[in-house]
Amino acid sequence: MLQSCDTMQPQTNGTNGTMSSSILITGGAGYIGSHTVAVLLEASTPHELVVVDNLSNAHREQGQKKPESLRIVEELTGKNIHFYDADIRDAEKLSEIFNKHNIECVIHFAALKAVGESVDKPLEYYQVNISGTCTLFDVMRKHGVYKLVYSSSCTVYGEPRKLPIDEAHPTGLGLTSPYGKSKYFCEEIMKDICRSDPKWTVVSLRYFNPVGAHLSGRIGEDPAGTPNNLMPYISQVAVGRLPELQVFGNNYQTSDGTGVRDYIHVVDLAAGHERAVRLLQQPGASGFHAVNLGTGVGYSVLQMIKAFEEASGRKIPYKIVGRRPGDISENYADVSLSHRLLGWRATRTLEDMCRDTWRWQSAHPNGFKS
């Protein structure tokens, strides 16, 4: 029998003895997931939080029941999190969790997420990101849970036809990586599910490029192995964990030849999920909704290096290498829909992103590992 890694049983409503409603968060021990858990608890959500994670990209200290990210979030908030070490492809374990908790909605982060790695390991990405997601949806349906916030990506747009990219931009055309394809395929599956049954409500949040860390400096991005994303790579170079940064290409059609991306602070991104959960709870909410989460501003790789040097006071050595398979030259978001539909906008600056990343990395040169 699957056991929750906490000392508390699901709380009951004292007036009628029924279980408190819960939000299930898959992949909730990871970078974006743990920050979203923190934001939900800091916002005093009335729901219990139930996290499922197979720890493929999260660290748990020997002898601890919960991964470090969630253990620290509990310390920061003074609130409990129900945690299960489980894989979303395991329907039997997922069903046990649904049976134990009164789950009202799901925030689905669990996925493999590195664009470059997905080119080398496409089968693994399709197995986890598509097969695992379908297993989750099937278990949700069997337990009468039809509300979902999905962790999608701006990679579903492929090479931009126009900038900034809004939600009406075509998706699925010219996709450059199995990662992006897996997110696109999952969105198409969710659209079909919503068409087939009006009970479903899905908010698919298309992230641009999450960076930064919690203001406390106690949780942040801690990728397993060599980082695949720019900001953790820069920060690990700054702290001396890696010798130099590789810049993948300097011959793009951009201001300085390096790739341009829309970077968003992870706490702003997490707040977008809290707003999406509110949308799910509105009377009459139904159907599939895709929403960009970004800032609407693009920065090049060289601009990011300079900003991080200023925030950290450290020189970032780098060398230019060939382009990376699956990368595109430039993208940044039109975020007007997120303002209208969610009442949300990013408020943190590039300076905030670099400063908060450095606060986390300088205090934790080896990430969560003690």
Distance of CA 285 to the CA centre of its chain: 23
The Cα 213–Cα 31 span in angstroms is 9
Q: How many CB atoms lie within 10 A of CB 216?
A: 16
DSSP helix, strand, coil percent of the chain (3-state; round to 5): 40, 20, 45
| Residue recorded with tokens 């986390």 | 360
The full DSSP string for 166-221 is: -TTS--SSS--SHHHHHHHHHHHHHHHHHHH-TT-EEEEEEE-EEE---TTSSS--
Distance of CA 339 to the CA centre of its chain: 20
Q: Say if residue 60 is exposed, middle or buried (CB neighbours under 10 Å; 0-12, 13-18, 19+).
A: buried
For 217, the token pair is 């400096």
Q: Which helix (H) or strand (E) holds 269?
A: helix 266-280
User: Half-sphere exposure of 258 toward its Cβ, with a 13 Å CA cutoff?
Assistant: 18
The verdict on whether 179 is a catalytic residue reads: yes
Q: How many CB atoms lie within 10 A of CB 285?
A: 13
For 92, the token pair is 């039997």
Active-site option among 31, 84, 179, 299: 179
List active site positions: 179
